[in-house]
Amino acid sequence: MNKIIQLVLAAALSISVLTLPTSADASSYKVQKGESFWSISNKFGISLSNLQLANNRTGSLLYAGETLNIPNSVSYKDKQLMAKLVHAEAKGESYAGKVAVATVVLNRVDHNEFPNTVNGVVYERSGGHYAFTPVQTGSINQAPGAEDMRAVNEAIAFRGQGSGSIYFYNPKTAKSDWIFSREVTVTIGNHRFAK
């Protein structure tokens, strides 16, 4: 991956507050031979940093048979829903743009002004309008591709890192003056990401 894409992803994947998991929010998992923090974080749909924090670890060393605390994760059903939204919202956009759209969903879940579930964020209504146009138009019901799911998994893996985008919009088609008042964190393709 070239340096520019890495910088764009780093900016797009950000939130301002890192959620520290507590033991009440965790379940146990026994490490299998050949597994790593990375593979386990992907298996459970949690960020690598949150998995390490939940286990008071900074390194990468794991032992087969060791028991880890697994903080609340993103279910397969929620990943599918996010991938459908990514497909509908970022069709034709770069991979970085797709990761950034998925990141907005996760940032909203973690933000106190939005619902605290993926389903709640995706289907949120305010003032009679859905937060995401594809929900209103029904295009969210289209099947996502492998790249859409990969973008969701990457957003989950890097959850808790970055600058906190909770909105995105296309400046050419946006109709609300309010959205232009939000602080832009990054522009990727046709989308501006903001907080």
Dihedral angle, C-alpha 26, 30, 33, 36, nearest 10 °: 10
Handedness of CA 103, 106, 55, 11 (dihedral sign): positive
* Cα–Cα distance measured from residue 90 to residue 98, given in angstroms and rounded to the nearest whole number: 6
H helices of 13-75, where? 37-44, 48-54
Q: What is the mean pLDDT of residues 6-11?
A: 47
Structure tokens at 48: 């690598």
Taking the whole predicted model, whether its pTM rises above 0.75 is answered as: no
175 C-beta neighbours (distance < 10 Å), count: 7
3-state secondary structure of 38: helix
**pLDDT tens digits for range 121-146:** 999 998 888 999 999 999 999 999 99
3-state secondary structure of 69: strand
Q: Which fold has domain 23-71?
A: Membrane-bound Lytic Murein Transglycosylase D; Chain A (3.10.350)
Looking at residue 161, its pLDDT comes to 66
**Mean pLDDT for the chain?**
84
Looking at residue 102, its pLDDT comes to 95
**pLDDT tens digits for range 9-54:** 444 444 333 333 333 344 788 999 999 998 998 888 787 888 888 8
Do the Cβ atoms of 117 and 109 come closer than 8 Å? yes
Q: Which residues pair with 193 in a beta bridge?
A: 168, 186
Which residues belong to CATH 1.10.10.2520 in the chain?
A: 3-14+75-194
Looking at residue 53, its pLDDT comes to 85
Which residues belong to CATH 3.10.350.10 in the chain?
A: 23-71
Q: Does position 89 have pLDDT exceeding 60, yes or no?
A: yes
Structure tokens at 169: 């919009």
Label residue 72 by pLDDT band (50, 70, 90). Answer: low
84 C-beta neighbours (distance < 10 Å), count: 22
Looking at residue 16, its pLDDT comes to 34
What does CATH list as the number for 3-14+75-194? Answer: 1.10.10.2520
Label residue 176 by pLDDT band (50, 70, 90). Answer: confident
H helix or E strand, kind and range, residue 186: strand 184-188
